[in-house]
Amino acid sequence: MKAFSIIWFGQVVSLLGSAMTWFAFTIWAWQKTGQASALSTVSFFAFLPTVLFTPIAGTFVDRWDRKTVLMFSDLASALGTLAALLLFTFPGAPCIYYGDEIGMNGHHDPGARGAFPWEHPGSWDRHLLESFRSLTALRREHPALRRGGYRHLAAEGGTYAFAREIEGECLVVAVNAGGDAGGITVPRAADAEERLWGRGEARGEGGSLHLELPGRSGAVWRVG
């Protein structure tokens, strides 16, 4: 009951804040223009997406090919995993808004974010949840991700690589946001590489390290 009360109160505050923002924006439009048409225009476009899409969204989803829907769902899950990887490996403290770890859906106000679906675990994106759990453990186990410095290594197309370093530890993080497999070459800091998280292969080439990543994926290596 305590957890439900906290979530309920947070949702009340969120919805109240959204409503106050919209109200303040309409007053600002009136003060700037002094015209009722500006006020009505702001209100019209605020509610237009809800009016247009809410009545027909369910009908279209029901008629879409299930395979296509699943493909788009998998794509969203993959992009969510990439976002989580960067969140947990960039400098700073990760901040997760409740429901992001299970791919919780949002809607237009007043349904911007509903209560956490504790009673419907079947709706959770388990793959995304496991990614958040493993990245949390990875960050806890490696000081370089919590207190280490950041060093840009390379960027090419949709592939990006950087290093997190602290005395005694160096981690290389790479992500491929493209749909196709891609590779990127970075300076080689040591002769040994160990993949700690994700999918991908690392291959030493003299003084360089070549990283190969599947489409829409990322990985973390420990070097040295």
pTM of the entire structure? 0.63
pLDDT attached to residue 162 = 94
**Which ranges in the chain are annotated with CATH 2.60.40.1180?**
78-100+126-224
CB 94, CB 87: distance < 8 Å: yes
Instruction: Give the pLDDT confidence of 136-162 residue by residue, as tens digits.
Output: 999 999 999 999 999 999 998 889 999
Nearest to 112 by CA among 28, 194, 50: 50
- Residue 91 CA to residue 148 CA, distance in Å, equals 8
> Which carries the bigger pLDDT value, residue 210 or residue 27?
210
Say whether domain 78-100+126-224 belongs to CATH 1.10.150.130: no
